[in-house]
Amino acid sequence: MKYKLPGFCGLLLLCNVCLGSAFAERGAFDFERWDNMLNDIRTKATAQNISKSVIDETLKNPVFIPGIVKSDKNQSEFTLTLEQYLDRTVSTDRIIQGRKKKAEYPTLLHRVEQKYNVPNNVILAFWGMESNYGKVKSKHNLTNAFFTLIYEGRRADFFTKQLLALMKIADKNKLSINNIHGSWAGAMGHFQFIPTTLAQYGVDGNNDKSVDVINSVGDAMYSAANYLQKLGWNANEKIVRKVIVPADFDRTVLNGDTKKTVSEWAQMGVTNPDGSALIVSDMLAGLVADTKEIAKRDLYQPYRTEDNPDVDIAPAPVIVAYLTYPNFYRIKKWNNSSWYAIAIAELSEKLK
């Protein structure tokens, strides 16, 4: 259900609109607070020299969307294991479609790689992860999504910044702001940029004097590569390396936060998957494994250990983990999820 709400309460019948459980703690919809919010946006946009035409268009027909509030309040906790996550994200279909896109855009991908020194397979991996190569179309009008989230109040300052950034983008690039669509949380286009990120890193990739990461694959790719370059992407380094560690390894260091040289990890028992020694290297790396899943495995399977020598079952198997290099942490500045960063690494390898 959506509520179209004009900018001034005097134009409305004074009545209470119950918006369900999302606002149970606040009761009826507060029209005065809504109008004050819209007036505050107009004041801030004017102070930031956004054109009157864009301001008027933005505030012309604001809509509150209760479903967005529900989504914001009920973001599900991450429950997939690393293996399940990789099965879902680095799927056979996504690999096939990525290879097709590589064949479809060879010149564009080459130009992007030459300009920003970000390999084309890495760009393709981000494209696949973020929008399934443009197949996933975001449905929400972004101005209304931001109005709703600002009114909801939990992160009002953040979403006000996003709305103002979107208004500036529309103003600068001659875009109709009420025709810009994205996710309920404000991400848009092939690579799912939020407005403040797009404002900082957006690039006109097709030389039409406008940056449109929703309708232009060129703009989207150039912008994504520019962002990764600014994050410090190193085309000569791997993202991760799959390894194994002993079953009794200190699991408190398997979250990627502890950094040691590869040689130091090797001295602690980390090896290649086939058991061979790691190459001697002074490159710093973290170490990431699915420790929750390992703990479950150990809970339900009484392996023989020094503390339980009489258990008639083989010793606990080794732990599969990933050495995480600097590019891994650059990916986490894009999306702060270790599973996401590992998926980008795995998918990009498949798309070489």
* pLDDT tier for residue 207 given thresholds of 50, 70 and 90: very high
**Sign of the CA dihedral running 57, 58, 63, 67:** positive
Give the per-residue pLDDT at 76: 53
- Residue scoring higher pLDDT (225 or 13): 225
Backbone angles phi, psi at 161, to 5 degrees: -60, -40
Average pLDDT rounded to a whole number, residues 230-259: 94
pLDDT(27) > 60: no
Backbone angles phi, psi at 323, to 5 degrees: -70, 130
Structure tokens at 48: 């930031």
Which tens digit of pLDDT belongs to each residue from 259-283? Answer: 999 999 999 999 999 999 999 899 9
Q: What does pLDDT average to over the chain?
A: 87
* pLDDT tier for residue 24 given thresholds of 50, 70 and 90: very low
Nearest to 335 by CA among 211, 187, 200: 187
pLDDT(110) > 90: yes
- 294-313 as b/e: b if 16+ CB within 10 A: beeeeeeeeeeeeeeeeeee
Contact 227, 334 (CB under 8 A): yes
Give the per-residue pLDDT at 15: 32
Element (H, E) at 81: none
Look at 6-15, 108-117, 138-147, 242-251 and tell me which has the smallest mean pLDDT: 6-15
Average pLDDT rounded to a whole number, residues 62-83: 79
pLDDT(3) > 60: no
* pLDDT tier for residue 11 given thresholds of 50, 70 and 90: very low
Give the per-residue pLDDT at 306: 59
Which tens digit of pLDDT belongs to each residue from 155-185? Answer: 999 999 999 999 999 999 999 999 999 998 8
Element (H, E) at 333: helix 326-334
Give the per-residue pLDDT at 294: 78
Domain ranges of the chain: 3-74+150-178, 78-138+187-235+342-352, 240-324
Average pLDDT rounded to a whole number, residues 119-146: 94
Which tens digit of pLDDT belongs to each residue from 209-239? Answer: 999 999 999 999 999 999 999 999 999 999 9
What is the strand order of the sheet 284-288 is part of? 240-245, 319-324, 284-288, 260-261
Nearest to 265 by CA among 330, 326, 322: 322
Give the per-residue pLDDT at 153: 87
Average pLDDT rounded to a whole number, residues 54-83: 83
Percentage of residues in the chain with pLDDT exceeding 70?
A: 85
Give the per-residue pLDDT at 138: 76
Give the per-residue pLDDT at 222: 98
* pLDDT tier for residue 315 given thresholds of 50, 70 and 90: low
* pLDDT tier for residue 21 given thresholds of 50, 70 and 90: very low
